[in-house]
Structure 1
Amino acid sequence: MFKLLLTAALAVVGVCQNYSPPKNSTNSTYNNPIVNEGADPWMFRHDDYYYLTYSNNVNVTLFRSKSLTDWNGADSKLVFAPPPGMNYSTDLWAPEIHYLNGNWYAIFTADPLNDSPPPEVEMWCEYNCPAVHHRMFVVEGTGSNPWEAVWEYKAELDTYDQFAIDGTYFQHKDQLYHIYSCWHRKYDGWPANLCITKLENPWTVSSPFSERQIISVPEYPWEKTPFGRAGNDRLSSNEGPQQLTNSKTGQQFLIYSAARSDNRNYCLAQLELVGEDPMNPGDWRKHPQPVFYQNPTQKSYGIGHASFTTSPDDSEDWIVYHGMKDPTNGWSARTIRAQKFDWNEDGTPNFPRPGYGPYEVPSGQ
């Protein structure tokens, strides 16, 4: 996920007022990207609308559209703008909005120092660690409709005063969990792993630090950048976790981002919950290859940080993700895309090759 360049952040803020994504080529097809600037997209359906939020560095803004793939002229609504001088005032990344227990919850990561810790802090890190102060925060929206909800800051989601980004809610049976990108220790700097804790409610962690579990670490060459470097912890990342459920089989997956988000090798990876306890690392099975990754023939690079939704008639599954056409421009080059995906015979997701289209619009749109 890591830091948006300031120019990109300012451009995205401007999108809230002057938004002009690409138009579909015809009524029956669309082209990627569906949003010309943006990263870490979170899309969901509610009633007759699709809702979208993504990183803009300064606030949580929600967009809505009748179309999954056409955001031209979409409505926008400010969900939360942090006051200055707080631990969550700067560098807001990867917002997500979930409906839980009758209310809406926006979960996001932020820090107090514009991603720039003082030397007296950073000297403790083995590597450079600009995100050392990033933590997870929750804003509650009271009401059954996300557009009409009354939004108020709720709490910091406890990560034991350690680095935390890209947090998401994971639901299994009757238990709610928090899964996020973490370090082993407070000043590690790298690698970034996936941690899980139990929640008492959407803003309260019930697990003590001794029960926090790391369920995935970067272990394969493709989870590191560049590939093949002998010592590679500094650029090794597992982040952007997202729950994905096979509605026909009930299988539970965690689709996460691997490698580094500002270059071509960023990709999506897969954990499957093969046991009964998400808090037991042994109950997760990692796929040995990335499941959604760059497509050089289409100039589609840096594929990562996805969310999932369905077509208007519920007959199709769709992945919404960010990628880049020119990987030499790093974070500022990311745009938001969407494509339909299917399922393999063994119940695992079968993602397409990323590209630009034209593609058929979602069924029922």
Structure 2
Amino acid sequence: MTFSRIKSWFLVSALLLLILTNHHVVAQRTFTNPIKNSGPDPWVLQKDGWYYYMNTTGRNLTLWKTRNLADLNTAESKIIYTPPAGKPYSRELWAPEIHSFNGRWYVYFSADSLNNLSHRVWVIENTSPDPMQGEWTMKGKIGDKGDHWAIDMSVIDFDGQLYAAWSGWEGPTNGRQDIYLAKLKNPWTIDGDRVKISQPDQPWEQHGDVPQEWQKNGEIPKIYVNEGPEFLRHDNKLFIVYSANACWLDYSLGLLTYEGKGNLLDPKSWTKSAQAVFTQAPENGVWAPGHGGFFRSSSRDGGLGQDWMIYHANPSATDGCGNKRAPHIQPFTWNADGSPNFGKPVPKTPMPIP
């Protein structure tokens, strides 16, 4: 092959590469938040290239399965569990989360039998390789020795040991929800005492004015809230991202940090960030973001994927705690000190899919 032919071959190859690259850019799929019109307390688990999604329905436990969260509206879905009437977990099913431990599937959810005062956390199990198949069985109530009020439990396997975090009351209704942590003996049993690692003690966490109509029904005038704790690990650090203030006000995300040293169950091992780490962005049409969760996108090239967050938010300032809360997703980065940088809620404009 002559030099001129070699040169021509390289030029043609470069041109084809440019055309293919430009075609890829043009063909890049996008999505626009919210990814679903309604979905309070959203949760995502990415496993083996599949995304498993859940949110509060109030009546049952519904599971969605999709290859990409951008397709959530058309994804396969199934009611995997409807509690029998009259059971202590038959009403007000909140904040379901699906997890996978030791080859089995577990869903944690909050429920009651009469009213909010009886809310506790319950666990169901499925031994099928596919959680959309097989039978889900009730493992029972998961709670501390004192059987305190509890909601919003999440679980993590941290270096071979299971831990649970949730929101609870210190005693009877006292107008304050705290974050508790405990070690687990197995996926449905707490081992030892619960430990309080956070309470709403910062000024930015104390915007808990209760609406006047609620006060007429006997509610106390203020409720200070720490709830919706979610684990997030990065290198040797463990974070708990929680929701503060109230879903009917300026819901925001706060951050607890465990530096990887000391006893995980010692409250002194946790540091609370002085300010909220994720707040509403009215300029982008996003109000009251809360109940944040985290997942890594399914890499298409065998890499590690990208870090993403999911949260629910309202489309206006007056939508409160109802079904207008819809799931939003967006990527996030890490600061130089290893802490998460969530930025702010992104505008409702097209962005690349996970």
- Pair in the same fold by TM > 0.5: yes
Contact 1:179–1:241 under 8 Å retained in 2: yes
User: What residue number does 1:346 align with?
Assistant: 337
| Counterpart AA for 2:313 | G
**SS of 1:245 mapped into structure 2:** strand
Paired residues, number: 311
Q: Is 1:197 paired with 2:188?
A: no
User: What residue number does 2:63 align with?
Assistant: 62
**SS of 1:72 mapped into structure 2:** helix
User: What residue number does 2:352 align with?
Assistant: 361
**SS of 1:145 mapped into structure 2:** coil
**SS of 1:234 mapped into structure 2:** coil
**SS of 2:321 mapped into structure 1:** helix
Contact 2:52–2:63 under 8 Å retained in 1: yes
Per the TM alignment, residue 359 of structure 1 is displaced from its structure 2 partner at its CA by 4.2
Q: How do residues 82-101 of structure 1 correspond to structure 2 at under 5 angstroms?
A: 82-101=83-102
Deviations 1:246-286 (CA, angstroms, capped at 9, x unpaired): 1xx232110111110123x1011100112332210000011
User: What residue number does 2:23 align with?
Assistant: none
Q: Is 1:218 paired with 2:212?
A: no
Select which of 215, 235, 239 maps to 2:223: 235
Per the TM alignment, residue 196 of structure 1 is displaced from its structure 2 partner at its CA by 1.5
1:95 & 1:226 partners in 2: Cα distance?
A: 25
Contact 1:312–1:362 under 8 Å retained in 2: no
User: What residue number does 1:121 align with?
Assistant: none
1:190 & 1:170 partners in 2: Cα distance?
A: 28
Contact 1:213–1:281 under 8 Å retained in 2: yes
User: What residue number does 1:271 align with?
Assistant: 256
Deviations 1:188-231 (CA, angstroms, capped at 9, x unpaired): 34200011122110111121xxx32110000112212258xxxx
1:106 & 1:277 partners in 2: Cα distance?
A: 27
User: What residue number does 2:7 align with?
Assistant: none
Q: Is 1:143 paired with 2:125?
A: no
Gaps of 5+ in 1: 1-25, 116-130
User: What residue number does 1:328 align with?
Assistant: 318
2:321 & 2:346 partners in 1: Cα distance?
A: 19
Contact 1:267–1:292 under 8 Å retained in 2: yes
| Counterpart AA for 2:205 | E
Identity %: 36
1:345 & 1:359 partners in 2: Cα distance?
A: 29
Gaps of 5+ in 2: 1-26, 210-219
TM value normalised by structure 1: 0.81
Q: Is 1:309 paired with 2:295?
A: yes
1:171 & 1:83 partners in 2: Cα distance?
A: 31
Contact 2:285–2:347 under 8 Å retained in 1: no
| Counterpart AA for 1:71 | L
Contact 1:223–1:237 under 8 Å retained in 2: yes
2:347 & 2:82 partners in 1: Cα distance?
A: 33
**SS of 1:132 mapped into structure 2:** helix
